[in-house]
Structure 1
Amino acid sequence: MTYKEICNMLRSRYDDGEARAVARYLLEMSFGLQMTDILCGATEQLPDDKLQSKINRLLDGEPVQYVTGTAEFCGRCFNVAPGVLIPRPETEELCRLVEEDERANGERNRHILDIGTGSGCIAITLALDIPGTQVEAWDISDEALAIARKNAMEHKAVVKFENVDILKMPPNHPNVETNSMRGACVTYDKIVSNPPYIVPSEASEMEHHVLCREPGIALFAPENNPLLFYDAIAVYAMQALRPLGKLFFEINPLFAERLGEMLAGRGFTDITFGDDRFGRRRFAIATKPE
């Protein structure tokens, strides 16, 4: 099968530019072909049945990252599967904000927690890009944690993963021994999270492959309580962060103002917001006072 034939088939689902981009990603990630190989006709040497099977999955609406089992994030390839959210460029920007803050701080032996780790892309990126940092990561999905651990092993990143549900965190934590999910005596320098923040009423605006293929548990918050996860994390963070420790969130721009009010009400100070590359208010940073 030629590259042109592959692109022509994909055009029944994608526009021209996207069809070519998806074809290149598929050929590189699934078959190891670079563009020079493709231009030299290497696709004609691929087994048609295997290639057609993957094309059929794409035509059926499955994201190319699930078809290939990989997603790119901060210059690295991560394993993904339908049980985990596909990493987004906006979340790369969240990692960069954390890293910039760490560089400005200049201290070593820092302690960072990633809540809702999914594929582990945030935790692993921070562990690799901030030397000397101790990183922990939580998720409620055993499937996601298995993928995250595999990613950490492949990237040789030291991250401690745990199955923890932030919504079931007891209100007070006198010591670590009373709760394996960590107590108030654990002090983090930073807590980072990209929690579920889409409300069901936004579903009609979402792309079909996101809505129907990616895990809803990682996407949606309750319509009547869109800050559910943020509030639970803020409550825990006020206990678990050291004085002047920081909370970093990826957020829904629709609820930025309400989020700021909630964080202030929970006792956080120096609450700031940042825009993503598209000019949307996408990030929030808050500080625990001394």
Structure 2
Amino acid sequence: MTYSELWRRLVPRYDEREAKAVARTLLEDVFKLSLTDLYTDGLERLTDAETSLLDNLFGRLEQGEPVQYVTGKASFCGREFKVNPAVLIPRPETELLCQTVISAFNAPYCALQPPEPLRVLDVGTGSGCIAVTLALDLWNSAITAWDISSDALLTARENAHRLQARVNFELHDVLQLDKAAFEASPFDVIVSNPPYICERERSDMAPHVLQHEPPSALFVPDDDPLIFYRAIARYALRRLKPSGLLAFEINPLYAEALRKMLEEMGFRTVDVKKDPYGRERVITAQKPLPAPPKEESPKRTN
């Protein structure tokens, strides 16, 4: 068995370049084989048990299971996170969301940085990649993370514990928030990568995503693509501090509609950011300041 024979098993699922990358990821992560090993005798040194495991894992890849689920881990912002079918696989565009928040508050002498811990809420935390990254990289922060899935929260807690990040995880459905959610202390930042892919976009998606990643974390109704953004923004109007930051990862197809919605809701300094490929991927906005009290007109005296 050679490296060439292995990656060619994946060509029906992937093009040649991606098949090589997927095969190499599995061989490096699970069997600790370097690129040099792959082109020499590294595979021949595997034991019978390792060879059997390798065949089993490649069988899962041939069925379309993402390599991150097969290896059980994914890289995000320079760290390894545990992933499984209960959570989305972290993606580079979500790194841009984290970098946007971090740069807003970690800049020297940033005017937005409060003297007390920066209170941050991550809505729909999944693997916990956003919450953990912000907990570790955002100076003087206190992070809370929500998800509707108890299985996702278990994975997120494990990632936080392994990476030594302090995050308070809570079970909440942002579309049906309970009283406790509204009794939380106000937040300085609310960040989210919510579901944003319309059902009609399924035909454009890779089969390994459709068949293996959790649909509840991906899809929204065709007739209401902003359903989660609207719910989170409404909550932000009530629980963000004045001038607090709201930050979303977005579907480029609905960037303009989302910008208009946030402005109509009263948010200010709404800004859309593009990824390195020129696609609109992140939107930020600030909660409006409270209206100043009206001055009473002086009473006229005769």
Normalising by the residue count of structure 1, what TM-score does the alignment of the two structures yield? 0.93
Does the alignment pair 1:11 with 2:19? no
Residue in structure 1 matched with residue 20 of structure 2 by the alignment: 20
Instruction: Within 5 Å, give how 1:27-46 maps onto structure 2.
Output: 27-46=27-46
Alpha-carbon distance in 1 for matches of 2:33, 2:169:
34
Alpha-carbon distance in 1 for matches of 2:92, 2:220:
21
Does the alignment pair 1:96 with 2:104? no
Checking the alignment, whether the CA contact within 8 Å between 1:3 and 1:41 is kept in structure 2 is no
Instruction: Could you tell me which runs of 5 or more consecutive residues in structure 1 were left unpaired when the two chains were aligned.
Output: 171-178
Which amino acid is the alignment partner of residue 22 of structure 2?
A: V
Q: Please give the secondary structure, in 2, of the residue aligned with 1:152.
A: helix
Shifted more, 188-197 versus 102-111: the winner is 102-111
Residue in structure 2 matched with residue 76 of structure 1 by the alignment: 79
Instruction: Within 5 Å, give how 1:1-290 maps onto structure 2.
Output: 1-46=1-46, 47-104=50-107, 105=110, 106-107=113-114, 109-169=117-177, 179-183=179-183, 186-290=185-289
Which amino acid is the alignment partner of residue 146 of structure 1?
A: L
Q: Please give the secondary structure, in 1, of the residue aligned with 2:74.
A: strand
Q: CA deviation at 1:212?
A: 1.5
Q: CA deviation at 1:60?
A: 0.6
Shifted more, 115-124 versus 103-112: the winner is 103-112
Q: CA deviation at 1:182?
A: 4.3
Alpha-carbon distance in 1 for matches of 2:285, 2:68:
33
Alpha-carbon distance in 2 for matches of 1:70, 1:32:
14
Residue in structure 2 matched with residue 175 of structure 1 by the alignment: none
Q: CA deviation at 1:127?
A: 0.6
Q: Please give the secondary structure, in 2, of the residue aligned with 1:283.
A: strand
Q: Number of aligned pairs?
A: 281
Q: CA deviation at 1:12?
A: 3.1
Q: CA deviation at 1:9?
A: 1.8
Which amino acid is the alignment partner of residue 189 of structure 2?
A: K
Bigger Rg over Cα: 2
Shifted more, 212-221 versus 256-265: the winner is 256-265
Normalising by the residue count of structure 2, what TM-score does the alignment of the two structures yield? 0.89
Which amino acid is the alignment partner of residue 230 of structure 2?
A: D
Q: CA deviation at 1:41?
A: 2.4
User: Which 4+ runs in 1 deviate beyond 4 A?
Assistant: none
Checking the alignment, whether the CA contact within 8 Å between 2:106 and 2:139 is kept in structure 1 is no
Alpha-carbon distance in 2 for matches of 1:126, 1:32:
30
Which amino acid is the alignment partner of residue 19 of structure 1?
A: A
Which amino acid is the alignment partner of residue 249 of structure 2?
A: E
Shifted more, 210-219 versus 38-47: the winner is 38-47
Q: CA deviation at 1:45?
A: 2.6
Q: Please give the secondary structure, in 2, of the residue aligned with 1:117.
A: coil
Taking only the aligned residue pairs, the percentage that are identical comes to 51
